[in-house]
Amino acid sequence: MKKFHAVAIDGPAGSGKSTIAKRLAKELGYVYVDTGAIYRTVGYYIWICGIGGRDGDGVRRLLDDVNVRIEYPGDGLQHMFLNGRDITEDIRTPEISSYASQVSAHKCVRDFLLDTQRDLAASHNVIMDGRDIGTVVLPDAEVKIFLTASPEVRARRRHSELQEKGCKDSYEKVLADMKQRDHQDSTRAIAPLRQAEDAVLLDTSEMDLEEAIAAAKSIILGKLETV
């Protein structure tokens, strides 16, 4: 019998995965694992090395020099360390979003990060969010949610987040980048973004944050009751 429970939340950028997962992990006493941050860490390294994210050979060569460490120091944040340096804040730029999406399409990168994600779920109760958690990383997760919202709603949310951080990108640019990333993430050959057959679909286009959290919580508690 499995010792720990896993909640898998997959969905496109800006669907609210991390905000909802973070809040519910705290309420349930689970560890929140943001797998996008793990891909961003690799994307960040490839970016600072000046290699194109689509350059498969270049990316593969550089992976030998990448050491990714995840820490939960108790401030509610998942801290990402790249070769010993805390780069938690540095990976939250539109440029690194795009790099993360590009490098995550390479099999070598996905293989490189798979055990890191599975090891966390083997040693903690987790709410893990990403693109392929319910389909590939944790196919036996007790709860699977596919979270989505219309591209316009997701872009509006992401645009306000970026504005709060001082980023001047227009709403139109954020929407275009998001559509491009959705396309890239859902059409790649390996572990594309898609809803697992046994995942519950939750569309938050018409919901505010509290309604979305309540809806996700009710799905999670309902499923956990049956295991």
Q: Does 13 bind ligand DC (CB under 6 A)?
A: yes
Q: Does 154 bind ligand DC (CB under 6 A)?
A: no
Which DSSP symbol is given to 89? T
Exactly one of 15, 41, 78, 101 binds ligand DC (CB under 6 A); that residue is 101
Tokens representing residue 17 in the block: 């995965």
CB-wise, 5 or 181, nearer to ligand DC? 181
* Residues 124 and 31: beta-carbon distance below 8 Å: yes
Q: Does 131 bind ligand DC (CB under 6 A)?
A: yes
Exactly one of 185, 215, 219, 220 binds ligand DC (CB under 6 A); that residue is 185
Beta bridge partners of 34: 129
* Residues 81 and 70: beta-carbon distance below 8 Å: yes
String marking each residue 55-94 x if it binds ligand DC according to CB under 6 A: ----------------------------------------
Q: Does 132 bind ligand DC (CB under 6 A)?
A: yes
Interatomic CA distance for residues 148 and 10, integer angstroms: 9
1: Cβ contacts below 8 Å, ≥ 6 apart: none
CB-wise, 106 or 223, nearer to ligand DC? 106
Q: Does 16 bind ligand DC (CB under 6 A)?
A: no
Tokens representing residue 72 in the block: 């939960």
Interatomic CA distance for residues 135 and 197, integer angstroms: 8
The count of chain residues that interact with ligand DC, using the rule CB under 6 A, is: 15
Shortest Å distance, C-beta 182 to ligand DC = 8
Interatomic CA distance for residues 6 and 8, integer angstroms: 6
Nearest to 106 by CA among 191, 178, 164: 191
Which DSSP symbol is given to 110? H
Shortest Å distance, C-beta 132 to ligand DC = 5
String marking each residue 27-46 x if it binds ligand DC according to CB under 6 A: --------xx--xx------
- Enumerate binding residues for ligand DC (CB under 6 A): 13, 35-36, 39-40, 97, 100-101, 104, 130-133, 181, 185
